[in-house]
Amino acid sequence: MAEDMRVKELKTVFSPEQIAMRVRELAAEIDSLYGQEPLVAVCVLKGAFIFFSDLARSLHNQNMELDFIRLSSYGMSSSSSRHVILNKDVEVDIRGKHVLSVEDVVDSGYSMRFLLDRFAARQARSLRLAALVDKHERRQADVTVDFAGFRLNKGFIVGYGLDYAERYRTLPGICEIIPE
């Protein structure tokens, strides 16, 4: 999609109610796995910040630390680049700790492969990945989403933190952009 693409319609794919229910279900799955084990939940900025906030507030782990990382590979384009840039690193020492990376969308998998390899080199006790949307059909790198909110095969989606050229992040649901 071109940066100057004109939007004909924003078609709802997942409603705010569907998202809220699924976030609670994911939190229950994550709580079941980790219990009260020490956990570092890492938000991948910018896209995952709303999902991360809702998910973190739904978790019951009192031994959880929160941190943030920022990667970029898209720029202002709608297609992934294999070149991943680390713009902001975590500040918490993850050595020997369970780490849950929280991402908005995993499609090609290149960014998450980069991140998981980086965390593995720091000797995290375990590494798992939660993603609001898993576009598994587009996967090119060897990455498994351990906690997938929704699976989606196609469509350029925005809302609930996801953007197109920094727009549409604050939509309460997830919508597909239908171009003119």
Question: In this structure, what token pair is assigned to residue 138?
Answer: 């587009």
Pairing mode of beta strands 85-88, 64-72: antiparallel
Q: How far apart are CA 116 and CA 133, in angstroms?
A: 18
Helix axes 16-34, 49-58, angle to 10 degrees: 50
40 CB-near residues (< 8 Å, 6+ apart): 64, 65, 66, 67, 90, 92, 94, 97, 98, 99, 100, 124
Where in the sequence numbering do the catalytic residues fall? 107
Read off the amino acid at residue 179.
Answer: P
Rounded distance between C-alpha atoms, residue 175 and residue 12, angstroms:
4
